[in-house]
Amino acid sequence: MERALNELKEIKALGCVLLGDPGYYSRFGFKRAGIYGLGNEYQADESFMVLELRKGSLTTVQGTVKYQPEFKKANC
């Protein structure tokens, strides 16, 4: 996880969203995405998480995150 986050920072990504275990991902700084006004097409709440990679970068975003069709196929 740390390697992936470092690579995102290297490409100057603003943030990262994921669906996963809050108990695990919170140790990396991920928070429930809903507090930033972000939803997802699967209506996941606690497990839909976001990490702000640049301070203040998520203060102006809101909406629904849509995943590529391959994501749904992998999780069927």
Taking the C-alpha atoms of residue 72 and residue 57, their distance in angstroms, rounded to an integer, is 28
Task: Report helix, strand or coil for 22.
Answer: helix
Q: What is the pLDDT of residues 8-32, one digit of tens each?
A: 999 999 999 999 999 999 999 999 9
What is the number of structural domains in the chain? 1
Q: Are 50 and 33 in contact (CB under 8 A)?
A: yes
- Comparing CA positions, the residue from 12, 11, 65 lying closest to residue 36 is 65
CATH number, domain at 15? Answer: 3.40.630.30
**pTM score of the predicted model:** 0.86
**What are 39-72's pLDDT values in tens digits?**
999 999 999 999 999 999 999 889 999 988 888 7
Q: Which domain holds residue 52?
A: 2-74
